[in-house]
A and B are shown apart, each in its own frame.
Chain A
Amino acid sequence: MIKTNKKTPKNIILSLENVSISYGTFEAVRNVFCNFKKGNITSLIGPSGCGKSTVLRSLNRMNDLIPNCSLKGTVLFDGTNIYDKRVDPVEVRRKIGMVFQQPNPFPKSIYENIAFGARINGFTGDMDELVESSLRKAALWDECKDKLNDSGYSLSGGQQQRLCIARTIAIEPEIILMDEPCSALDPISTLKIEETMHELKKNYTIIIVTHNMQQALRVSDMTAFFNAIEYEEGDGGKVGYLAEFNSTKKIFNSPKEKTTQEYISGKFG
């Protein structure tokens, strides 16, 4: 392990220190400081274009896949800067899994969808058992135990998303990132995913981006409110920043910032 910072408190699993992310010359989000607690569900909320998804993707180096995307500052995971030159992004993604906005199962069987990640991560144990336990944790086992060899696409949207969660769990990550996991789903599927998240909280740290404030209120312990302001330079473009970060209760009941209050009460966004 590459130790770069020993000051990080023990229960902080991931911390952003002065992170700014740009796409080419366009700065998407600026000067973010943020600590994510172990075993918590933290939600990132804010209006469109405030950079919350960008921040989320930066946490497991998914931004590497976007051409021209660059990051300044440090992202500390267990005391290691994951943007250190010596860090292998593949290792980072094995420890910090991700669930995407659109359910994206592999064009393989349900069983293979889960076994794929485990196998490439060198899993040698009982694969059947792993598939079952992952599906159970994602609350999908009862619905698909009889059709494990069917294509992942044969499932409904909500089931597919839970399959993606199960697939992520199967690689035993420490953190699960979720990028608006319910935006493509109906309310019932959303509820099931939220229940799943409550279950997962026991073993994993979850960071979720959501546009649905009720969802943030229902599932998360901590909430980070991102906002976008116009550049001081005044060319009309907007840059995102972390406006307020506190426990979900405080953000929703007694926010310190006026903009937070306005966003939560639906005045903009």
Chain B
Amino acid sequence: MNSLYYQKRLSRNIGDKFFTSLSVICALIAILPLIFLVTYILIKGGSQITPELFTLEPNPPGDDLDAGGINPALIGTLIITTIASIIAIPVGVGGGIYLAEYSKGGAFPRFIRFGVNVLAGVPSIIAGVFIYALIVSTKILFGSMYSGLAGGMALSILMLPTVIKTTDEGLKLVPNELRYASLGVGASMYTTILKVTLPSAFRSIATGVVLGIARAAGETAPLIFTALFSYYYITGFGDLFYEMGSLAVLIYNFALEPYDAQNKLAWAASFILVLSILSVNIFSRILAAFTEKTKRV
């Protein structure tokens, strides 16, 4: 007679234990790089943080021991990301609205969805080379070559798929009953979208936009081909048409320098970049959690 009690030595129970522990170990290994990376950067970079870091220009490498600050790169990252958002958000949200609300299934929307997925998988350096060929080498933007504007365009290509996808998915989550309600009282399609569906999906779209921004802000490769780098303060609107520094490119440039002062500056910039991207990501999580709670209010 078989006992109903749990038997440790049964081969299926041993196998079960083994695979449970194996998957736990794999999960731990998977999270290790993130933990090490963040702690390492926090320790290496955190010690370099001074008030001057945020106000000074970086010094050209080699001539003295003080590397200066990252002010132009910090402002540059903000400006380039803003330009990217200004391009990618309207186009992406508009495209998402088309996919979710107007398209009725068929070859064209399927092609767009496929294209968006392909675009999401395009290596970021390709986006940079593309804008280089289109804007930088042709000097099409009022004769300027490398510029913050071109950098923003390159990043917008990377943001676009995220924004389109989250808009599409966010709008699809809005219950159809709500659309029927609006159309049923005689609202046109566009009033329905503008006044009823978009506001209901607003937070999930905002989450996607924030994630897109977070991704774009940390990109280096597209900026090397488009915005290049600059050591100097951004003083006015005209600077948009010239080379513009960014945190990512500053890290790339200065980490390769043989001088210790520049390396330290690169660590400090890494610290700031990781911290800001991390906080933007956390912000988007909070936004998403907020969405869950208030879905039916």
Chain A interface (Cβ within 8 Å of chain B)? 60, 62, 65, 67, 90-91, 93-94, 97-98, 100, 102, 104-107, 116-117, 120-121, 151, 153, 164, 167-168, 170-171
B184 close to A153 (CB less than 8 A): no
Report which residue of A90, A153, A170 has the largest number of chain B beta carbons within 10 angstroms of its beta carbon: A90
A90 close to B180 (CB less than 8 A): no
B185 close to A168 (CB less than 8 A): yes
| Known interface pairs A106-B181, A106-B196, A120-B195; 19 further A-B residue pairs with C-beta atoms within 8 A, sorted by A's residue number | A62-B180, A65-B179, A65-B183, A90-B188, A93-B184, A94-B185, A97-B185, A98-B180, A100-B180, A102-B177, A104-B177, A104-B180, A117-B187, A120-B185, A120-B191, A121-B186, A167-B185, A168-B184, A171-B185
Interface bits B155-189 vs A (CB < 8 Å: 1, else 0): 00000000000000000000111111111111110
B183 close to A164 (CB less than 8 A): no
Residue of A nearest to B192 (CB): A120
A107 close to B181 (CB less than 8 A): no
Cα–Cα, bound, A43→B105 (Å): 35
Residue of B nearest to A168 (CB): B185
Complex contacts, B12 vs chain A, CB 8 Å: none
B297 close to A94 (CB less than 8 A): no
Cα–Cα, bound, A208→B216 (Å): 54
Query: Separation in Å of the B48 CB from the closest CB of chain A?
Result: 48
Complex contacts, B183 vs chain A, CB 8 Å: 62, 65, 90, 93
Complex contacts, B105 vs chain A, CB 8 Å: 67
Cα–Cα, bound, A107→B179 (Å): 12
Which one, B175, B182, B196, B296, contacts A153 given CB within 8 A? B296
- 7 smallest beta-carbon distances between A and B, as pairs: A117-B185, A94-B186, A104-B177, A98-B184, A104-B181, A93-B186, A90-B188
Known: A93-B186, A94-B186. A100 touches B181 (CB 8 A): yes
Main secondary structure of the interface of B (DSSP, over half): helix
Query: Separation in Å of the B95 CB from the closest CB of chain A?
Result: 20
Complex contacts, A105 vs chain B, CB 8 Å: 181
Cα–Cα, bound, A98→B177 (Å): 12
Interface bits B229-265 vs A (CB < 8 Å: 1, else 0): 0000000000000000000000000000000000000
Chain B interface bracket (under 10, 10 to 19, 20 to 34, 35 or more): 20 to 34
B204 touches A (CB below 8 Å):
no
Cα–Cα, bound, A153→B178 (Å): 13
Residue of A nearest to B295 (CB): A107
Complex contacts, A60 vs chain B, CB 8 Å: 184
Complex contacts, B175 vs chain A, CB 8 Å: 104
Query: Separation in Å of the A100 CB from the closest CB of chain B?
Result: 6
B181 close to A93 (CB less than 8 A): no
Complex contacts, A104 vs chain B, CB 8 Å: 175, 177-178, 180-181
Query: Separation in Å of the A153 CB from the closest CB of chain B?
Result: 6
Known: A107-B200, A153-B296, A153-B297. A171 touches B186 (CB 8 A): yes
Q: Give residues of chain B (143-165) contacting chain A, Cβ–Cβ below 8 Å.
A: none
Cα–Cα, bound, A156→B188 (Å): 29
Cα–Cα, bound, A164→B184 (Å): 10
Query: Separation in Å of the B129 CB from the closest CB of chain A?
Result: 41
A164 close to B181 (CB less than 8 A): yes
Cα–Cα, bound, A121→B105 (Å): 30
Cα–Cα, bound, A91→B181 (Å): 15
B195 close to A116 (CB less than 8 A): yes
Which one, A91, A93, A106, contacts B178 given CB within 8 A? A106
Residue of A nearest to B183 (CB): A93
Report which residue of B175, B183, B191, B196 has the largest number of chain A beta carbons within 10 angstroms of its beta carbon: B183
Cα–Cα, bound, A105→B200 (Å): 12
Cα–Cα, bound, A98→B183 (Å): 9
- 17 A-B contacts (beta carbon < 8 Å): A62-B184, A65-B179, A93-B184, A94-B186, A100-B180, A104-B177, A104-B178, A107-B178, A107-B200, A107-B297, A117-B186, A117-B187, A120-B185, A120-B188, A120-B191, A120-B195, A171-B186
Complex contacts, A91 vs chain B, CB 8 Å: 186
Which one, A62, A98, A107, contacts B296 given CB within 8 A? A107
Known: A67-B105, A120-B191, A151-B297. A100 touches B186 (CB 8 A): no
Cα–Cα, bound, A229→B145 (Å): 73
B104 touches A (CB below 8 Å):
yes
B297 close to A90 (CB less than 8 A): no
A100 close to B187 (CB less than 8 A): no
Query: Separation in Å of the A200 CB from the closest CB of chain B?
Result: 16
Query: Separation in Å of the A25 CB from the closest CB of chain B?
Result: 16
Complex contacts, A116 vs chain B, CB 8 Å: 182, 185, 187, 195
Complex contacts, B104 vs chain A, CB 8 Å: 67
Cα–Cα, bound, A106→B75 (Å): 42
Report which residue of B176, B179, B181, B188 has the largest number of chain A beta carbons within 10 angstroms of its beta carbon: B181
Residue of A nearest to B177 (CB): A104
Query: Separation in Å of the A124 CB from the closest CB of chain B?
Result: 16
B186 close to A90 (CB less than 8 A): yes
B94 touches A (CB below 8 Å):
no
Cα–Cα, bound, A153→B195 (Å): 17
B181 close to A120 (CB less than 8 A): no
Complex contacts, A98 vs chain B, CB 8 Å: 180, 184
B184 close to A120 (CB less than 8 A): no
B90 touches A (CB below 8 Å):
no
